[in-house]
Amino acid sequence: MEKLGFVGLGIMGKPMSKNLLKAGYKLVVYDIVPAPVQELKEAGAEVGTSPSDVASKTNIIITMLPNSPHVKEAVLGKNGIIEGAKKGALVVDMSSIAPLAAREVGAELAKKGIRMLDAPVSGGEPKAKDGTLSIMVGGAKADFDQVLPILKTMGSSAVLTGDLGAGNVTKLANQIVVALNIAALSEAMVLATKVGVDPNLVYQAIRGGLAGSVVMDAKAPLMMDRKFNPGFRINLHIKDLGNVLETGHAVGVPLPLSAVVMEMMQALKVDGMGDCDHGALVRFYEKLAQVEVKRQS
């Protein structure tokens, strides 16, 4: 099997890289945090000394990093991928970053004859672990076709949505819809509870109709059971909504609902809930209404 590079072994990158190893790929890995690097080494991966070193040993390099500045540093900075990658190499950035940043990085790589795809994911840590992420890809079709088998070891679906940057545009659209769904669900559940109606019965009554959604089925039971361990952290959704608003401002698209939910999440962060699951958005409404959503049946 082909040898791949993997830079970024955090909450998402670590399980994704483990799934690649399980599928039989050889890996050269790097992260600034020693513990996950050691864990991957014990699982059979080779350890690189820098992103540049990883790139020098592989032709396909996957990155999974927190945000745009981290990607720019790992790819274009000192000892970055661009310094070690061979001409014709392919960088697959699976981080969720600003689309304009993805295009900027891709343009710099192209000057050296290095190809790039942006391929952010949806599904959070649970789906990263079981290899069922949804992967949204931007870039050339030939490059996408080349890495599709690799992507399918980490996700249940991978869709090419356009040129470089389109993957992250799609991810931002996804994050808008998810955030607004959770906010609407929270608002509805708090209203039902305050009026004295069992929120679980409301959920059961409406989930099969037009109001029903994957978000509702994923988050309503956790809200009622008071389970707010991530999942997908509020701090990460704040990061994504920051990229949403930055991109909207850059291209002239007002995003009023995204801005409101962003401020709700900022309020929760100030209240010390930044590392809770984004389903904890219900606690913003609970604080306003002085009520707690709980399963009664």
Looking only at the bridges linking them, the beta strands covering 3-7 and 60-63 are parallel
CA distance 68 to 48: 22
β-bridge pairing 46-47 and 60-63: unpaired
Distance CA 117, CA 138 (A): 6
Catalytic residue flag (residue 112): no
Query: Rounded distance, CA 55 to CA 72, Å?
Result: 15
Phi-psi region of 165 (alpha: psi -120 to 50; beta: other; left: phi over 0): left
- Can you tell me which residue has the tokens 């984004």? 278
Alpha helices in the chain (DSSP H): 13-22, 34-42, 51-56, 68-76, 81-84, 99-111, 124-130, 141-152, 166-195, 199-206, 214-224, 234-251, 256-270, 282-289
- Residue type (1 letter), 145: D
Q: Which of 86, 171, 219, 269 is catalytic?
A: 171
> DSSP 3-state assignment of 172?
helix
Q: Which residues, listed in sequence order, are joined to residue 29 by a DSSP beta bridge?
A: 6, 47
Q: Which of 82, 81, 142 is nearest to 112 (CA)?
A: 82
User: Tokens 């710099």 label which residue?
Assistant: 108
Torsion angle of alpha carbons 84, 90, 96, 102, nearest 10°? 80
Catalytically active residues are 171
